[in-house]
């Protein structure tokens, strides 16, 4: 099946620093990837839709200047949390949408990245 990886799996940083999280589709090309945020014991909330070669589409209430998304290739999307603060601490999960084959339109999820901002 389709595999999506994320790197790093866990990052701890000081307040004010920027952190980049990578999301890769390992065995398929993904023109569309999604970024979600999950608070402890809560559900996933869609932050933004990442489109290869164009600007990301952000959900209402998500600061685009805070959460920079770049989808420069068909297998890689990056989320950069700029000037991170403790309230940005969360579990960030990406997914990639399959556009061909038997799993058409299905989203495959990465294992998540835990961000802790001190």
112 binds other proteins (CB under 8 A): yes
Among 13, 46, 74, 76, indicate the residue that binds other proteins (CB under 8 A).
Answer: 46
Residues binding other proteins: what is the number (CB under 8 A)?
A: 22
Quick check: 86 and 71 in contact, CB under 8 A? Answer: no
Shortest distance, CB of residue 95 to other proteins, whole angstroms?
8
Q: Nearest approach, Cβ of 37 to other proteins (angstroms)? A: 11
Helices (H), the chain: none
75 CB neighbour count, 10 Å cutoff: 19
Radius of gyration in angstroms for the set of CA atoms belonging to the chain, rounded to a whole number: 14
Residue 109 in the binding site for other proteins (CB under 8 A) = yes
Q: Residue 117, preceding bond cis, omega within 30 degrees? A: no
Interface with other proteins includes 7 (CB under 8 A)? no
| Contact flag: residue 74 with other proteins (CB under 8 A) | no
Q: Locate 14 and state its tokens.
A: 């000081």
Question: What's the DSSP call for residue 113?
Answer: E
Residues that bind other proteins (CB under 8 A): 6, 32, 34, 41-46, 49, 93, 95, 97, 105-112, 114
């Amino acid at each position: 099946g389709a595999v999506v990886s994320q790197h790093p799996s866990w990052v701890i940083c000081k307040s004010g620093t920027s952190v980049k999280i990578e999301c890769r589709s390992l065995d398929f090309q993904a023109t569309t990837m999604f970024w979600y945020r999950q608070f402890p014991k809560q559900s996933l909330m869609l932050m933004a839709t990442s489109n290869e070669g164009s600007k990301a589409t952000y959900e209402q209430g998500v600061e685009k200047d805070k959460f920079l998304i770049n989808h420069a290739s068909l297998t890689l999307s990056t989320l950069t949390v700029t000037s991170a603060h403790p309230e940005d601490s969360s579990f960030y999960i990406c997914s990639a949408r399959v556009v061909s084959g038997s799993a058409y339109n299905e989203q495959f999820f990465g294992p998540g990245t835990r961000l802790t901002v001190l």
